[in-house]
A and B are shown apart, each in its own frame.
Chain A
């Protein structure tokens, strides 16, 4: 136990934790959106994220920015990031919708039991992962350096890098936009209606199939955003990059209360912080152990997660 590391490093550990937590939260929203509407854990979501990391990397490479490039100017870097975000969001969004149409929709049409969906989800995850593995030779790819690493804020040893700032700000903006969409728009109301009572929603004229495709799309878009920041943070990607991070994002969704959008944010940030503090305290080898121990302990006391289940449902 290294309490002094935790105490001395506390501000920077917090920053690191919140940044990683924001990435978890973005991915967690994909699990939570789909679960809220279908009561289905979409295990293929980790691959939706993975496809996004490749989408952004290939875009950058196609424009001449690879792992061996020099660091571009700030303007160019911002352009590249923006472009990467758009491409990754589109790639991930499309992947998610294809998974829904090819893997899940045919099962729904046949009224398959929940276990069939679960097995299909795991199968779809392996198929996508191995497809990418086969296509890329199962090797790891490096990312071009984009943002400068010198901190934008440096107060008495508390440092925030441009990447950390960008990750956190973009993640919050995107999540705020999603929340507004779900709470305020007609389609958002449709999503909440199907989540709360699918039959009655149909009686109101809501096309359930469209709503389901929409939640897969939204989850995919968010995973694409997460993928870009993950690329820049770790500096690399490979075909199985989604497995662990997907599992953790799923844990974050459960932690916050799966089916609950704000819960995904809270769960993601909390998981990021716990990992960050935990790795300082016990050493980074223990990061994953700590994260899941905290998850299990928390669920013992709050089985439905911190904010409770269900999409947009106010607990009466």
Chain B
């Protein structure tokens, strides 16, 4: 088990956002977390990456308890999140943004290899390499956010809404790349509102509602689950 959340609760002030989330991600998997707006998907991601302190429960990663570990140290251990809203550093060039992904690494030769790999995955980034991140289109920023996360060579890649605001063709492309990244050996936990794409690509998935996990199963099985279909896939 690479990542395990055990009965995690989290509050924003007096409002409880997570009501005892338990989930796990095994090495080599693509796991999707789907649910409506406000279900607590992004909050779960923030709990895993360490941006929000949890109020109860445990988080274990690669055998160690990381419940109270600082966010930057979780990155050093191999969790990297491409945040909701992409979090591109607007004043930095594409190259500098990618370098930020490798901030905690010192293996220069390997970083250069990963840079080449990312630029091969996303040829658009190579064309824009000297451009400030703030001047990229939404799709390009999403590619940059994913590419930047890969630059940390994470054991676990957390993707928060990678399809948000993208045209259908780009969504296809991003998910193909996620599959490709996974096949190259990176474990992926992806949060998505686009349940169709996420479920058809994921090995397993969790469905969230109002801070609870209400369903769990193989991605394809959930895709045909009547309740999931009705609620998230827009078909009755």
Q: Which residues of A contact B80 (CB under 8 A)?
A: 203-204
By size class, the interface of chain A is 20 to 34
Cβ contact of B83, chosen from A203, A206, A208, A316, cutoff 8 A: A203
In this complex, what residue of B is CB-closest to A203? B81
Q: Which residues of B contact A246 (CB under 8 A)?
A: none
- B51 CB within 8 Å of chain A: yes
Q: Measured between C-beta atoms, what is the minimum distance from A105 to chain B in Å? A: 14
- Decide if the interface of chain A is mainly helix, strand, loop or mixed: helix
Q: Measured between C-beta atoms, what is the minimum distance from B86 to chain A in Å? A: 9
Q: Measured between C-beta atoms, what is the minimum distance from A198 to chain B in Å? A: 10
Q: Which residues of B contact A207 (CB under 8 A)?
A: 70, 72
- B148 CB within 8 Å of chain A: yes
Q: Which residues of A contact B96 (CB under 8 A)?
A: 189
Contact across chains for B103 and A189 when beta carbons are under 8 A apart: yes
By size class, the interface of chain B is 20 to 34
Give a binary string over A174-217; 1 marks a CB under 8 Å from any B CB, 0 the rest: 00000000000010011011001101111111111000000000
Give a binary string over A282-316; 1 marks a CB under 8 Å from any B CB, 0 the rest: 00000000000000000000000000001011101
Contact across chains for A200 and B134 when beta carbons are under 8 A apart: no
Q: Measured between C-beta atoms, what is the minimum distance from A134 to chain B in Å? A: 39
Q: Measured between C-beta atoms, what is the minimum distance from A187 to chain B in Å? A: 10
Cβ contact of A205, chosen from B90, B103, B132, B134, cutoff 8 A: B103
Q: Measured between C-beta atoms, what is the minimum distance from A257 to chain B in Å? A: 13
Distance, CA A186 to CA B105, complexed state (A): 11
Contact across chains for A199 and B87 when beta carbons are under 8 A apart: yes
**Interface of chain B residues 131 through 166 with chain A (CB within 8 A):** 132, 134-135, 148, 152
Contact across chains for B89 and A200 when beta carbons are under 8 A apart: yes
Distance, CA A316 to CA B132, complexed state (A): 8
Q: Which residues of A contact B132 (CB under 8 A)?
A: 314, 316
Distance, CA A208 to CA B100, complexed state (A): 14
Q: Which residues of B contact A208 (CB under 8 A)?
A: 72
- B75 CB within 8 Å of chain A: yes
* Residues A197 and B87 in contact in the complex (CB < 8 Å), given A203-B80, A204-B101, A205-B75: yes
Contact across chains for B72 and A202 when beta carbons are under 8 A apart: yes
Give 5 nearest A-B pairs by CB, closest first: A205-B104, A200-B87, A313-B91, A205-B75, A202-B71
List, sorted by A's number, 15 A–B pairs whose CB atoms are closer than 8 Å.
A192-B92, A193-B89, A196-B89, A196-B90, A197-B89, A199-B87, A203-B71, A204-B75, A205-B75, A205-B152, A206-B103, A207-B70, A312-B92, A313-B91, A316-B132
Spell out A's residues near B (CB within 8 Å). Answer: 186, 189-190, 192-193, 196-197, 199-208, 310, 312-314, 316
